[in-house]
A = this chain, B = another copy of it.
Amino acid sequence: MTEDKNVESGEYLCAHEDTVKKVKEEMPEDEFLYDLAELFKVFGDSTRIKILYVLFESELCVYDIAQLLGLTQTAVSHQLRVLKNNKLVRFRKEGKIVFYSLADDHVTRIINQGMEHICE
């Protein structure tokens, strides 16, 4: 410890000064990192992951999603709202039936990256 001194703030750090400078420069805004965490938080629930997964194949209505996953309609509806707010799914109304589908292929890519990490 106290191997190097960060002149700017007066803090003593173990890392070299230019390393510290680089890290600080590359660091995005706090708000951005918060949003990023929020996004991953949406994927961080098995119910929502399951919902996204059944939508891989095709669009489905709320009732079918609930039936396929053995969940209550209310639970699915609540989670679909979270997914919708985060632009991970979109919907299409046909009378009283609402069909949900994946918003874009980012969803697939993010999940695939996650799967690759697990399968090692």
Contacts and interface: CB of A to CB of B under 8 A. Distances in A.
A32 B28 CA distance: 32
Interface in A9-53: 11, 13-15, 19-20, 22-24, 26-28, 30, 32-46, 48-50, 53
B46 A44 contact: no
A11 to B, nearest CB: 5
Query: What is the oligomeric copy number?
Result: 2
Interface string A66-110: 011000000000000000000100000000010000000010011
A111 B57 contact: no
A58 B113 contact: no
A64 B106 CA distance: 34
A1 interface: yes
B36 A54 contact: no
Contacts of A19: 57-58
Given A22-B57, A39-B114, A40-B114, 18 more contacts: A13-B68, A14-B60, A14-B64, A15-B64, A22-B58, A23-B68, A27-B53, A33-B46, A36-B49, A36-B114, A37-B46, A37-B48, A39-B118, A40-B44, A87-B117, A106-B116, A110-B110, A110-B117
